[in-house]
Amino acid sequence: MGDYNGLTRQEYALALLRSCYGYDSFRGQQWDIINHTLDGKDSIVLMPTGGGKSLCYQIPSLMSEQGFGIVISPLLALMNDQINALQQNGVPALALNSEKSDAENRQTVDLLMQGKVKLLYISPEKLLSEIERWSSAITQRICLFAVDEAHCISQWGHDFRPEYTQLGTLKQRFPDIPVMALTATADRITRNDIGKQLNIPEARLFISSFDRPNISLNVVQGSTGRQKFRQIVQFINLHQGESGIIYCLRRKDTEKMAADLTRLGIKAEPFHAAMSVSEKQRVQRDFINDDLKVVCATIAFGMGIDKSNVRYVIHSNMPRNIESYYQEIGRSGRDGLPADALLFYNYGDVVTLQQFALQSGQVQVNMDKLRSMQQFAESGVCRRRILLNYFNERFDHDCHNCDVCDNPPDRFDGTTFAQMALSAIKRADEQIGMYTVTDILRGMRKGEIIDKGYDRLKTFGVGHDLSTFEWNAYLLQMLQLGLFDVAYDDNKHLKITEYGNEVLFGRQHIELNRVQRRKFTAKKEPDTPAIVLHEAASGKQLDQELFEKLRDVRKAIAQASKIAPYMVFSDKTLQAMATEKPTTMSEFGILYGVGQVKCQKYWRPFTAAIRNHLSPND
């Protein structure tokens, strides 16, 4: 046990937490993890995105008097982000990587030798080549190895990186240095494999709840084309001035979406793998700097950024599995303030994704994962329950922050509807796809319908009372219930199952969830946001006008010092300012997220803006 200037270990850790980061207490298991590491022991840390993993290795590194912590991370962008954030807080953090010049890297090694670095960020391949060359003067200063994105070491994970596999040798070479593996991927196979691959069989497992209660979960079924676009616009308009990501399935969808939104005055840009590196960097930078609010992206976007004030994530198409979905929505609301996730789910997505799955190397696994995703989208019970159960977490109450909890489904006997649909399919000799079924039921005299003589079927027009949107949504439910299958080897025509026949002939009944057309309206006050807790604790109210002014101050500072606005202060800290309205340095210094270094640097411009707001005539 070290001596911490007469403080206990925990007191010292808390003092650092306050002075460096401006936080007053550890969250969840953070302290246990830190304490365990300070005992010199290995750990595997499972926490959702935004859960606060980085503090777990940063604090022990800061507490080590002479030493430094090594953070192994696969993404350069992520490293740079973390280093910037640490430097903002006055922590000496550096990276060794191939992007830097040899001279820069040599200088970093010198600083390591002199004990002037607290955290070293490095890629796995660089570490292994580098560490061979280090003298014992450096290696004896290493106080921990933190393996970030540790699921990359496992072939079972969704993001295997061969360069991670060599990391297993670290424990053999440095048996006494604690290893901390961190990931936001929860599944059991991957988790066990991480311990094995890193040679840390005794590692203690720290599993946090994967719940992100501040993210509101919403699904819209059945919308397509223009209607979907209108709903997206409506939704974005409720989030004016806020940052959001729209995920699309294909490159061309991102481009179209961005162009269509921009035409309506919502400035948006696409982001996808085929863009040049510099274009991608520009979009990412503009987004981080709050100069661009909306990005329409394929899945690649968001990996390397820590932007804490993303307020919404829209999935304009259904993702292939729950893991991806959860990771993507997890990019919103990292600051703990309310965020919105909106998922669109229609028949076309199911068809496309099933085809992807069938063409993939692991058909069974991918089909199962897709089915779970569909169950989530179709769910008639609280969506958070489904999600967390999927991650093997017990969650036995309704969340009151999802669309199902907000609008419990209205179930009704849908047998007649099903019979109409099934009968249309049967009469067309099972030679039609989903959208044609809708057209027949609604009595649409379109080319294909007339050409094939479907307008003479007995079922033609029997369902004209329902809109296209409603039929599409009900057919989707029927597919999910297993009344018919999609024949991928026969032009995606629908084939009635045995169960479907039972329903068609009235031997079985089915229930459907009534389809409601979703209108997006301003949300009621959310239940869980941190700021509400903050207001409740202090009895003060957030001054929205002041908040906007403080945002401008932050923006100006960020521009002048060429860093992202959220690196200056998070939205949550600005909200604390706009609520507490500090006018002196000491009042400013105790705010959430204001550490010593930032207090020194920034108290003047912010308190000046607050004073000016309170008495504009002075």
**Residue numbers at the binding site for ligand ADP (CB under 6 A):** 23, 26-27, 30, 47, 49-55, 306, 308, 334-335, 570
Phi, psi of 410 (to 5 degrees): -100, 105
Residue 201, strand partner residues: none
Q: How far apart are CA 134 and CA 128, in angstroms?
A: 11
Interface with Zn ion in residues 532-561 (CB under 5 A): none
According to the binding rule CB under 5 A, does residue 343 interact with Zn ion? Answer: no
**Facing residues of 96 across strands?**
122
Told to check if 405 binds Zn ion by CB under 5 A, we report yes
Considering CB distances under 5 to 8 angstroms, the limit depending on partner class, which of Zn ion, ligand ADP, none binds residue 405?
Answer: Zn ion
User: Which of Zn ion, ligand ADP, none sits in contact with 178, Cβ below 5 to 8 A by type?
Assistant: none
Q: Please give the C-alpha separations between residue 246 and each of 224, 238, 296, 398, 567, in angstroms, as whole numbers.
A: 15, 15, 5, 27, 23
| Contact of 314 with 235, CB cutoff 8 Å | yes
Spacing of C-alpha 382 from chain mean position: 19
Quick one: 218 or 308, whose CB is closer to ligand ADP? 308
Among 314, 402, 440, 574, binds Zn ion (CB under 5 A): 402
Of 353 and 402, which has the nearer Cβ to Zn ion? Answer: 402
Determine the Cα–Cα distance for residues 295 and 292; give it in Å rounded to an integer: 8
Pairing of strands 493-496, 484-487: antiparallel
User: Minimum distance from CB of 55 to ligand ADP (Å)?
Assistant: 5
* Strand intervals (E) in 399-540: 411-413, 484-487, 493-496, 511-513
55 binds, among Zn ion, ligand ADP, none (CB under 5 to 8 A by kind): ligand ADP
Residue 455 interacts with which of Zn ion, ligand ADP, none, CB < 5 to 8 Å by class:
none
Minimum distance, C-beta of residue 406 to Zn ion, in the bound complex (Å): 8
Given a contact cutoff of 8 angstroms between Cβ atoms, the answer to whether 310 and 331 are in contact is: yes
CA angle 376–378–384, rounded 5-degree value? 35
522's tokens: 């301003």
Stretch of 100-108, 405-413, 518-526, 583-591 contacting Zn ion, by CB under 5 A? 405-413
Using the minimum distance from each CB to ligand ADP, give the nearer residue, 27 or 495.
27
Residues 365-394 that bind Zn ion (CB under 5 A): 382, 384
Output the six-digit token pair for 298. Answer: 């394929």
State which residue, 88 or 254, has the beta carbon closest to ligand ADP.
Answer: 88
Of residues 402 and 594, the one with the C-beta less far from ligand ADP:
594
Residue at shortest CB range from ligand ADP: 52
User: How many Cα neighbours within 13 Å face the side chain of 431?
Assistant: 8
Of 86, 399, 441, 599, the one binding Zn ion (CB under 5 A) is 399
State the minimum distance, in angstroms, from the CB of residue 599 to ligand ADP: 16
Both structure tokens of 170:
């670290």
Least distance between ligand ADP and beta carbon 336 (Å)? 7
Instruction: Give the one entry of Zn ion, ligand ADP, none that residue 382 binds, where binding means its C-beta sits below a cut-off of 5 to 8 angstroms depending on kind.
Output: Zn ion
Q: What part of residues 13-52 is at the interface with Zn ion (CB under 5 A)?
A: none
Closer to ligand ADP by CB, 51 or 338: give it.
51
Q: How far is the CB of 333 from ligand ADP (least distance, A)?
A: 10
CB 7 within 8 A of CB 63: no
Residue 399 binding result from ligand ADP, Zn ion, none, given CB thresholds of 5 to 8 Å by partner type: Zn ion
Give me 618's structure tokens.
């002075």
Q: Which does 308 bind (CB under 5 to 8 A by kind): ligand ADP, Zn ion, none?
A: ligand ADP
Q: From the CB of residue 376, how many other CB atoms can be counted at a distance below 10 Å? A: 21
* Binding residues for Zn ion restricted to 495-534, rule: CB under 5 A: none
* Distance (Å, whole) CA 47 – CA 94: 25
- Collapsing DSSP states into helix, strand and coil, what is residue 6? coil
At 156, give phi and psi (nearest 5°): -85, -20
243 or 316: whose CB is closer to ligand ADP? 243
If the CB atoms of residues 71 and 441 are measured against ligand ADP, the closer one turns out to be 71
53 contact choice in ligand ADP, Zn ion, none (CB below 5 to 8 Å, kind-dependent): ligand ADP
Residue 334: which of ligand ADP, Zn ion, none does it interact with, CB under 5 to 8 A by kind?
ligand ADP
Rounded (5°) CA angle 361-364-370:
100
Q: How far is the CB of 266 from ligand ADP (least distance, A)?
A: 27
DSSP per residue, 425-487: HHHTTT---HHHHHHHHHT---HHHHHTTGGGSTTTTTTTTS-HHHHHHHHHHHHHHTSEEEE
Residue 72 bridge partners (DSSP): 122, 147
Site residues for Zn ion per CB under 5 A: 382, 384, 398-399, 402, 405
